[in-house]
């Protein structure tokens, strides 16, 4: 009987330690990937409707100041998967897009393990595109800074691991859905 009691006590203390690790872990590194769409040609003055379908990779570091508030620095690299031409008057193809972001992250708990995420920040972006109009070929490199907003859901599936699905809109008219895996330490 005392051995059973000892085993139960060790299990309870191990669970308490795992729960405390979640609260004490201030650093989070996450890797992710996903899909997105943009209407970049319309936004930049081309008389056409074109949806660029993209896949992307995302790397981020987040520091949790409190369980609800954090700050995030991240990098997203997007590559065009395909283009749906709705009105082919010109040809404006985005080759690749990269962006760095700095954002405040707010997390509202929904249950013991899941929470709602909201990010608001700025992104520095670089869009490399190939433009063709009347047999003219021009490569462009468009850089800028703009707003970034994200909404998402996060699930802590183990003491130091998290999974999240995040929808992000950035100023250069790109919408992405990203699945991230994060590690807390």
pLDDT band at 108, cuts 50/70/90? Answer: very high
DSSP-assigned letters across all residues of 122-147: EEEEEEEEEEEETTEEEEEEEEEEEE
Q: How far is CA 99 from the centre of its chain?
A: 11
Residue range 15-41, pLDDT digits in tens: 443 344 455 789 999 999 999 887 665
Query: What secondary structure letter does DSSP report for 172?
Result: T
Chain segment 64-99, per-residue pLDDT in tens: 999 999 999 999 998 877 665 554 545 556 677 889
Between the ranges 6-10, 67-71, 156-160, 174-178, where is the mean pLDDT highest? Answer: 67-71
Q: Is the dihedral of CA 92, 144, 70, 77 positive or negative?
A: positive
What beta strand segments (E) does 39-170 contain? 50-64, 69-85, 91-109, 114-133, 136-158, 161-170
Q: Which domains does the chain carry?
A: 26-184 (2.40.160.20)
* Helices of type H across 33-161: 40-43
């Amino acid at each position: 009987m005392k051995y059973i009691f000892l085993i139960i006590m060790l299990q309870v203390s191990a669970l308490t330690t795992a729960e405390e690790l979640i609260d004490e872990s201030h650093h989070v590194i996450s890797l992710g990937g996903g899909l997105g769409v943009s209407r970049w040609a319309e936004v930049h003055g081309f008389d056409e409707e074109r949806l660029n379908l993209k896949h992307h990779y995302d790397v981020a570091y987040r520091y949790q100041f409190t369980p609800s508030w954090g700050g995030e620095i991240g990098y997203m690299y997007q590559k065009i998967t395909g283009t749906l031409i709705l009105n082919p008057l010109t040809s404006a193809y985005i080759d690749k897009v990269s962006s760095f972001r700095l954002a405040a992250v707010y997390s509202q708990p929904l249950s013991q393990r899941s929470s709602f995420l909201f990010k608001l920040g700025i992104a520095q972006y670089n869009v490399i595109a190939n433009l063709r109009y009347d047999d003219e070929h021009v490569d462009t490199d468009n850089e800028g800074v703009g707003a970034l907003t994200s909404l998402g859901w996060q699930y802590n599936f183990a003491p130091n691991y998290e999974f999240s699905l995040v929808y992000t809109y950035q100023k250069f008219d790109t919408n992405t859905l990203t699945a991230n895996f994060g590690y807390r330490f």
